[in-house]
Structure 1
Amino acid sequence: MEISLKGKNVILIGASGSIGNSILNQLILTGARVGATYNKTNITISDPSYKDILITKKVDVRDINELKSALQEFIKHFKKIDALIYNSGICEDSLFPIMKYKDWRSVLDVNLDGAFHAIKILSKEMIRQKDGKIITIASSKGLSGSYGQANYAASKAGLIGFSKSIARDLGRFGISVNAVCPGFMVTNLNRDRRDKELNAKNSSVLGCISNPQEIASFTVYLLSDYVNNVSGQIFNIDSRL
């Protein structure tokens, strides 16, 4: 089965980092035209022909005006928006009794509030079109909780509930909304936590951890024409029970 997104315009919020960069490269590989945002980490593209189908903007999703400006530029450039992937996310880990409120607020501002603002802006375009797909990149931590990550787990749990709720609101307009929950994988956010990697492998029924390419492939599959009657679903891409 060959997946092609040729002719489709996709907005990817959070295209840098391990998962974001993998999704971006997979989108380009399948022929999608992409409007991508990044913040601190540079975007790396493996396909040399990407310049014809990619525009990028440096955006801090906590700055609503900056986010709105970038999205409006994408809308003007592409005319029609077929899909949105919200992948922006940060961690500010600490045990809850000593967690600072600024770290709590910062994580929710990026992981959850950013999704609210981006989806609200772009869903209006999709409503006008009566068509569109939205995917949020949540986390298995939003389903199970996580030691020392009350803010991160809360933001991802919120993203899951948010995705299921707006799937109900937007379905009448032909817009699907689904959440993808990666399991543990080695990313720029946790590269120094060897203990977490070992624990994830030990608790996996397959004895392995997730990888960004797996998430990218599954996400792009959801955007393809092979999937048209799926919405309000939470996909846990993991082998831990």
Structure 2
Amino acid sequence: MASSFLIIGMIILTQTVVGILGNFSLVCSYIVFHFMGYRLRFTDLILQHLIVANSLVLLSKGVPQTMAVFGSRHIHSDVGCKLLFFLHRVGRGVSISSICLLSVFQVITISPWNSRWAVLKVTAPKYVVLSIFLCWILQMLVNVIFPFNITGKWNVKNITEERVFGYCISIFTDKTDNAMYAALLLFPDVLCLGLTLWAGSSMVLILYRHKQQVQHIRRTHASSRSSPESRATKFILLLGSTFV
């Protein structure tokens, strides 16, 4: 049992360190872009909020969970557990929503001007800020009830209906209410997952059609390298499968 906890702790620690380094590198990149005077695209705003959301998840889930696996018990209060779980749930939800928004805006951007999305190519950037703001508000509203069922692991005794989360526990009450609330929490994730998969599939289809249209041009400039559309398609499929 001790070895299994050690393995889990090392996995969580590795994920947390990699996540922190990844987000820190993105922050440094945007700082460099700012001082070099680069003009950022509207999708960069979504990525910046994604960095914030991921940082919330890392600080409220990754670090405390790693501490709990390795035996640290610094979080004794109910307030600390409730706050960390609320921040984790909001950050997680905004992270998924941001990836969904990024995928949808990308498919609108690369869609041809004769498609049904041509009108949105001009108007979509105007709604980026509003969309991100709605993502934060929606996740806060959906997860506002979550902390009421969370309490400190070492503050409650003799409870059989519970689920342990390392340093906190979730107390089960009425099964019907739990099922309804689980469905409420699951709906935004399923919706974002569906939209992200649709956007990825649409981008692959657009790239395939574009490759077919310019194939006769490239025949006169044959190259052993794969086409840009093929490389982009592989990258989209990799990111999509990783997200799922």
TM-score (norm 1): 0.24
Higher helix proportion = 2
TM-score (norm 2): 0.24
